[in-house]
Amino acid sequence: MYFGVLTKNPMIDCGLLAWFLAQMVKVILDLVLLGASEWRRFFSSGGMPSSHSALVTACTTALGRLYGIDGPAFAVAVTLSAVVMYDACNVRRSAGDTARLVNMLLKHVEQLTAEDLADDLREVMGHTPLQVLMGALLGLGVGMLVVP
């Protein structure tokens, strides 16, 4: 049931709520699985579930529920959601894999000083297909529950 709590726009509100819930799940999973969690994790990307997928799926679901799934706006939303999820799963994940390999190579180059190695490249940039799916399901659930 939608009450217009945040922005008075149900699609934005659903997206923000889904993003917030996905980020909280990451913090809680870290706490449960690793025994500790850092709050900066709340603002980072990567991990389970994908907050990118949750956000775009919630917005798309809210749009479809409010205005129907036959119009051009829903078609654009589905297309953009697919692009975001593809990027989260493939392009950003490849960038993270590349960063991991570069970090490994740099640690084995003897000519470099410790100062050169001080700032590793960020390795957790993308998502596995399961993380993207779980984020999409979270977003779908938020959109279905929040918008009548």
Instruction: Name the residue ranges covered by the structural domains of the chain.
Output: 10-146
Query: pTM of the full predicted structure?
Result: 0.68
pLDDT single digits (tens) 97-127? 777 777 777 776 655 555 555 565 555 556 7
Q: How far apart are CA 73 and CA 75, in angstroms?
A: 5
Q: What pLDDT, on the 0 to 100 scale, is given for residue 8?
A: 83
Question: Residues 144, 65: contact at Cβ < 8 Å?
Answer: yes
Percent of the chain with pLDDT over 70: 80
Judge residue 141's burial from the number of C-beta atoms within 10 Å of its C-beta, 0-12 exposed, 13-18 middle, 19 or more buried.
middle
Classify each residue of 103-122 as buried b or exposed e, where b means 16 or more C-beta atoms within 10 Å of its C-beta.
eeeeeeeeeeeeeeeeeeee
Mean of pLDDT over the chain: 80
**pLDDT score of 76 more than 90:** yes
